[in-house]
Amino acid sequence: MADNITVVEVGIEPSKVVAIVDRWAAETDFSVHERTEKRVLYRYERHISTVSWISIENLGTKARLSAWLAPKGLDPDAKGSFWKGNKTTFPPIGLAMGPLGRFRKQFNTLSDIIKSESDDPIVISAVNSPYHIPITNNNFAKFFIWLGVIVFLYGALNLYNGTSSLARQLFPDMAEEFVRDGLVNIFVGIIFLVCSMLLKKGKAMSIWLYGATILITIGYAAAQKADFPTFPILFGVVIISQLMGLKKEGQLT
């Protein structure tokens, strides 16, 4: 994994940006690692192995703000590697736990403070920033179309296997299970396609409809006395967290 750093440009005087970040750092227990005319570097050791970094570079009339997490012991100006570990940054929205989640919340707060100090609504602009990756409802709509088609076709195949005479001869004990699995997957696939249409229209109802498929998966596994569907549930939680992020941004109403 290559180094991955959030970089944004702040369109106000660098000294003012530094003053804002100094106040923010005092509240979040960040300490100054380096302070020169060209750069101010802040750090916070979150636990035994990870350090959070904030860098402010003086660009004259504006400042460049960088944020990343790195393994303890990796110099802020050094490039990471397989052996040393890489610099990484938080995901734009959705599920983020541990140091990533805490740092993302703090960075979002810092961004809001900077924006409140300026009358310019675009005072912060992305340079190379996963923080600003445009995840949209249309992107998720396309994802749900593919997911719906795949699940629907899988269900149709199971239904065919459970009803065809050849399959019944080859797998007589599994025919009924094939039929049940097929019907459930066809139903879930249709729900995914409906979610796609709702997402295209920016409807938050898609979140709850997708959540219903998770409950269906759990209920069906319990009825079949099968193992708890851990992976599908974790995957579903991640997707719902991403959709909730879109709702928070106002893309879903």
Question: CA distances (Å), 63 to each of 11, 35, 78, 132, in order?
Answer: 7, 14, 21, 17
Q: What is the pTM of this model?
A: 0.54
Question: 3-class SS at 169?
Answer: helix
Total of domains in the chain: 2
**What is the rounded CA–CA span in Å between residue 23 and residue 66?**
17
Residue-level pLDDT at 121: 65
Do the domain assignments include residue 1?
no
Residue-level pLDDT at 231: 86
* Single residue among 132, 154, 188 that ends a domain in this structure: 132
Domain that holds residue 120: 6-132
Question: pLDDT (tens digit, 9 = 90+) per residue, 149-174?
Answer: 999 999 999 888 888 877 667 767 77
Do the domain assignments include residue 176?
yes
**What is the rounded CA–CA span in Å between residue 196 and residue 146?**
9
**For residues 196, 198, 134 and 93, what is the CA-based torsion angle, rounded to 10 degrees?**
-100
- Mark the ranges of the chain whose per-residue pLDDT is less than 70: 1, 46-47, 91-97, 121-122, 126-135, 167-168, 171
* Whether residues 17 and 99 fall in one domain: yes
* Whether residues 104 and 22 fall in one domain: yes
* Single residue among 73, 98, 132 that ends a domain in this structure: 132
Residue-level pLDDT at 93: 57
* Single residue among 102, 132, 162 that ends a domain in this structure: 132
**What is the rounded CA–CA span in Å between residue 196 and residue 205?**
11
